[in-house]
Amino acid sequence: MNGFIFCKNNDPKLTQRKFRLAVIDSLLETGAYAPHVQARRTSFVSPNVDPPLRLNTRCFLAKFENPKHKPDCRACSDRKSGNRHQTSWYCKTCQVPLCANKCFEVYHSRKDYQSVCKNRA
- Tens digit of pLDDT for each residue in 9-30? 777 888 888 888 787 777 666 5
Residues 29, 60, single domain; the answer is: no
Residues 8, 60, single domain; the answer is: no
Reported as half-sphere exposure (CB side, CA atoms, 13 A), residue 91 has a value of: 27
94 neighbors 59 (Cβ within 8 angstroms)? yes
**Residue 63, H or E segment:** strand 61-63
Domain contains 39:
no
Residues 29, 57, single domain; the answer is: no
Predicted local confidence at residue 87, as pLDDT: 92
pLDDT digits (tens, 9 = 90+) for 94-112: 888 998 878 888 888 877 7
Domain contains 48:
no
84 neighbors 33 (Cβ within 8 angstroms)? no
Residues 114, 57, single domain; the answer is: yes
Domain span holding position 14? 1-33
67 neighbors 86 (Cβ within 8 angstroms)? no
Question: Over 50: is that where the pLDDT of 38 sits?
Answer: no
pLDDT digits (tens, 9 = 90+) for 48-103: 445 556 666 678 888 889 989 999 988 888 888 888 888 999 988 888 899 887 88
Residues 17, 57, single domain; the answer is: no
Domain contains 47:
no
Number of domains in the chain: 2
